[in-house]
Amino acid sequence: MMTSLLTPDTGTSPRRTSRGPRSAGHSDASRRRAGGRPNVLAGLGGTLWLLIIILPLYYVVITSVRPQEGFFGSNQLLPPTDPTFDQYALVLQSDFFRYLFNSVVVTVATVIVTVLVSLMAAFAIVRSSTRFVRLSFSVFLLGLAIPLQATIIPLFYMLSQIGLYDTLWALILPSVGFAIPLTVLILSNFIRDIPGELFESMRVEGASQWRMLFSLVLPLSRPAIVTVALYNALNVWNGFLFPLVLTQNPDNRVLPLSLWTFQGQFTVNIPAVLAAVVLSTLPIFVLYVVGRRQLVSGMTAGFGK
């Protein structure tokens, strides 16, 4: 059901650029507006929303450098007169790097496995028409509708049974499982637009299917791969529920879960808790500043599922 919802706007399919009047109107529509008289009402509304978005972020940043002494008496909306990075030091000394490392491991492993197996599946789905492959595609589509939340209890049970509970594998494997349907869908939409002649000429030269996958499909689908990789990475990096129910030992703790435990540990030391929030967001924020366009297109690719 989600397929037809997702395909027209994923923004990754090259087919879309040749879609006639709709996309042709793109830049013209925007230029026309710039020419009109300024829309004051829209400007005011836009500014109001900007304040709503910015205020909490501003509060988090200034509070994270507020000294603990006199914290409760100070005006929370003004930046502190004597900012301090003591709380950052405290967070960094509280095993922060271990959690960061775990988050990196889980995110990188999930993305690599997801992209690899999904690319193989998408390649087969586009280039093969056996009943098994077509049936698999329908199964993936069905998977888009499965709510992750409903699977935490059975996953807890199953992973305990096979001895993976409270390991990083307990985070990686289910994350891959839930990332696969959408990734396959987006990649196969993209691969479908690779001209069949290219496959044909490789076949004539006697290339194996694996060679076609790695020297034709892989390089040509790079834009789509970057998009799905970013989308999945952001989801896994920020994921909270799987780490909450599938890990226990601090050795296997990832960043979002560490925010939760920091909150219990630092209790009334609000600046320290918020310093942890800032630090955990920093890697993605850097990515946002460097490659905003890519990241943003990655986010709509998944339509925030």
Partner 1 sequence: MTVLRVAGGRVRERAAGPSGWFVVPALAIFAFFALVPLAVALWLSFTQWNAISAPAFVGLANWQSVLADPGTWHALGLSLQVVVLSWIVQTPISLLLGVFTAGKQRYRAVFAALYFLPLILSSAAIAIAFKALLDPNFGLGSSVGIPWLNQNWLGDPNLILYVVIFIIAWQFVPLHTLLYQGGVRQIPASLYEAADIDGATRMQQFFSITLPQLKYTIVTSSTLMVAGSLTYFDLVFVLTGGVPSDAINILPIDMYVTGFSASQFGTASVLAMILVVVGLALALLMTKLSGFTKMTSQQDGA
Tell me if 274 contacts partner 1 by CB under 8 A: yes
In degrees, to the nearest 5, what angle opens at C-alpha 148 toward C-alphas 53 and 262? Answer: 55
Tell me if 249 contacts partner 1 by CB under 8 A: no
Cβ-based neighbour number of residue 1 at 10 Å: 9
In degrees, to the nearest 5, what angle opens at C-alpha 119 toward C-alphas 109 and 236? Answer: 35
Considering the complex, state which of residue 53 and residue 89 has its C-beta at the smaller distance from partner 1: 53
CA distance 179 to 173: 10
Q: Which range in 82-90, 93-101, 172-180, 219-227 contacts partner 1 by CB under 8 A?
A: 172-180
Question: Please, what is the minimum distance in Å from the beta carbon of residue 35 to partner 1?
Answer: 9
* Residue choice 84, 94, 167, 209 for contact with partner 1 (CB under 8 A): 209
* Residue choice 18, 132, 219, 290 for contact with partner 1 (CB under 8 A): 132
Q: Which range in 30-38, 83-91, 92-100, 218-226 contacts partner 1 by CB under 8 A?
A: 30-38
Long-range contacts of 11-15 (CB under 8 A, 24+ apart): 11/227, 11/297, 11/300, 11/301, 12/186, 12/189, 12/190, 12/223, 12/224, 12/227, 12/228, 12/297, 12/301, 13/189, 13/190, 13/193, 13/224, 14/190, 14/193, 15/189, 15/192, 15/193
In degrees, to the nearest 5, what angle opens at C-alpha 255 toward C-alphas 259 and 162? Answer: 115
Question: Please, what is the minimum distance in Å from the beta carbon of residue 224 to partner 1?
Answer: 16
Question: Please, what is the minimum distance in Å from the beta carbon of residue 215 to partner 1?
Answer: 14
Return the residues of window 66-95 that contact partner 1 according to CB under 8 A. 71-72, 75-77
Q: Which two tokens stand for residue 298?
A: 């990655």
Question: Please, what is the minimum distance in Å from the beta carbon of residue 6 to partner 1?
Answer: 8
Question: Please, what is the minimum distance in Å from the beta carbon of residue 97 to partner 1?
Answer: 18
Tell me if 270 contacts partner 1 by CB under 8 A: yes
Question: Please, what is the minimum distance in Å from the beta carbon of residue 289 to partner 1?
Answer: 9
Distances (CA, A) of 274 to 93, 278, 279: 15, 6, 9
Tell me if 32 contacts partner 1 by CB under 8 A: yes
Q: Which range in 27-35, 84-92, 94-102, 219-227 contacts partner 1 by CB under 8 A?
A: 27-35
Return the residues of window 134-153 that contact partner 1 according to CB under 8 A. 136, 139-140, 143, 145-153
Tell me if 44 contacts partner 1 by CB under 8 A: no
Tell me if 260 contacts partner 1 by CB under 8 A: yes
Tell me if 218 contacts partner 1 by CB under 8 A: no
* Residue choice 17, 49, 97, 248 for contact with partner 1 (CB under 8 A): 49
CA distance 145 to 141: 8
Q: Which range in 79-87, 91-99, 129-137, 218-226 contacts partner 1 by CB under 8 A?
A: 129-137
Residues 6 or more apart whose CB falls under 8 angstroms from that of 187 comprise: 118, 119, 122, 221, 224, 225, 228
Q: Which two tokens stand for residue 274?
A: 């918020």
CA distance 244 to 253: 9
* Residue choice 18, 42, 93, 206 for contact with partner 1 (CB under 8 A): 42
Packing angle of the helix pair 169-191, 222-238 (nearest 10 deg): 150
